[in-house]
Every structure is written in structure tokens, then in C-alpha cells.
Amino acid sequence: MSKDQKNNVNYNNGNNHDPEVLEEGDIYFFYRPKKNSQNVKDMEDVRRFFMVTAPEDKYINSKDKKQFYRLLVIGKKSLPEIRKSEARASERFWARVGGIFEDKNELTKELFSDEFRKGDGARPAGFGKYVIVRHKNHSEIAYVLETPEEPGEAQKEFGIEKEASYIISVINPKKPTPSGYPSSEETPNYPDKVLQEFDQEENFVSLTKDTNFINYLNAQVILIGAREGKDSINKELGIDIEEKGSGKSKDIFRKLNIRKGQIPIKPLTEGKLE
């Protein structure tokens, strides 16, 4: 990997796990209030929780290298809990790829549209950097939160840590949805060429080669809490996700073409639900 490819991730050369970065880029968290819950006081007023990943173009496999955005709808309206002990396979959190957008304006239109009445648009709960790393026989998505600089009340409600990682895999579309998981609203939009790669017998397939399995609408994603804190991620994965400078709260507006005043900003500036 070239020096240019290591801009966002520092490698711990003393680590023997030989991690491989499959993807890195920007990560965003949003929540949408329930109908008639314009003032969000707690999780009872939240209808959906979203995670958006925007990979850097050097990790995009398509020939035209066009920027795109994955919109993931996170089940249970929260990220998985990070336990001090080893992650348990039984503590899998389900998510669904609810959209793949090449145009950031189409993404923001989806997020900030008023579904039932004015004020129903999604609200940002965090912004940062992420990386998807192949580690041993599985992959993990790790991130560092940049805005707000420290998790507040809003972030704690959604399980957003300052820095954390999650084992990430997908449900095999060739097998029936395992018991205990919701069926996708629609069949994952995998082309035949990609479906042929799902030749394992396992219900859950790891992203050990690339991230292509999560690049399609309705792909069903599984997340398991793995580790939190910079030291733990650096030690176990051999990576250090760098934070970028100051004035980070401005980045989400610039990068997604959001006008100030268009959305509530207390979750970002004060870490409070709004």
C-alpha cells in the first residue's frame, strides 16, 4: 500500500494480525423522529436510526470511481453494546442497506424529507472517519467520532462511542433468513455475478475479500460489538484512525451540501437530542 493510501490510517507495524484495509472514508449518524414527535425527548420519540458510509474513491471498485453513499437502517435504533469481554455471536444487531446514492443531494433529500409533516426530517447525531479492516477470518468496521468531539446524551442513546469497532458480515441471500432476524422488506438487489460468490453454507458471510456485498439495496448486514477506545483498536487491529484538524462540525454541512438552519444541530454542537 502506498504512502498516499495511508493518509487516514496509521499502522502498528508490531501487530502480528496482518490487517488489511478494505475501505475507509466518512461516516455519519442520523435519527428520524416518530410522527407527532417533533420534540425528541428520548428513544420513545425516535422512529429510525441511520448510519451512512461514504468510501474514498481509491477504495471504490467501479471503473468510473464515482463517489457513493450507503444508507444503512440500523435495527433496535442503536449500535451494538461494546462488552469488556469477547463479543458474543448471539449479540448480533441487524441492519439493512436502505439506499445506495451516487448524488449527495439525493441522499440528503431522502434523509431530510418530511414524511408526514414539517419536522419529520432526519437529524444528525454524529460525524467522523471509518475504516473497514479484514482481521484474521472476519472484518470489522471501526470509526472515530469527530463531531461532537465527545459523545453526549444523544450519542449515548444510540450507542455511538468516541471510537469503536464492530464485526461486520452479511446474511447469505441464498439461505432462508435465520430465525430471530427480520426478513428484508425486499430481496437484496444482488446481480447474478455477485450471487455466485455466496457459495458458503454459513448463514452469515464475512467481508474478507472486499466490501462489495454491502453495495446493494436491501443487503442485510449484521453487526457485533467488538471493541472500544483508541488503545484497544490500535492494539487488536493494528490501526489508528486519525482525527482531522479543527472546525470539524463544519464538515458535515460542507460535505453533504446542507444549509445551516435546514436541520437541528444541537445533537452535533451540544450532544443533545432535539
Q: Render pLDDT for 144-192 as a digit per residue (tens, 0 to 9).
A: 999 999 999 999 999 999 999 999 999 999 988 888 787 766 789 999 9
All residues at 6 or more sequence positions from 259 whose CB lies less than 8 Å from its CB, including other chains:
253
Strands (E) located in 34-174: 46-55, 69-74, 93-101, 123-135, 138-147, 163-171
Q: Is residue 24 part of a domain?
A: yes
Looking at the 3D structure of the chain, how many domains does it have?
A: 1
pLDDT confidence bin for 85, thresholds 50/70/90: low
β-strand partners of 270: none
Q: Is residue 271 part of a domain?
A: no
How confident is the model at residue 5, as a pLDDT? 37
| Mean of pLDDT values over 208-217 | 94
Q: Is residue 98 part of a domain?
A: yes
Q: Is residue 90 part of a domain?
A: yes
Q: Per-residue pLDDT tens for 255-266? A: 998 887 888 889
Whose cell is 441464498? That residue is 174
pLDDT confidence bin for 4, thresholds 50/70/90: very low
All residues at 6 or more sequence positions from 249 whose CB lies less than 8 Å from its CB, including other chains:
127, 147, 148, 265, 268, 269
Its domain, for residue 46, covers 4-263
pTM over 0.85: yes
Q: Is residue 273 part of a domain?
A: no
Q: Is residue 51 part of a domain?
A: yes
Q: Is residue 270 part of a domain?
A: no
Q: Per-residue pLDDT tens for 54-79? A: 999 887 776 666 789 999 999 999 99
3-class secondary-structure state, position 88: coil
167 neighbors 223 (Cβ within 8 angstroms): yes
How confident is the model at residue 116, as a pLDDT? 58
Q: Considering the chain, what percentage of its residues have pLDDT values greater than 90?
A: 53
Which whole-number Å values give the CA distances from 269 to 90, 124, 126, 138, 149, in the listed order?
35, 10, 10, 35, 9
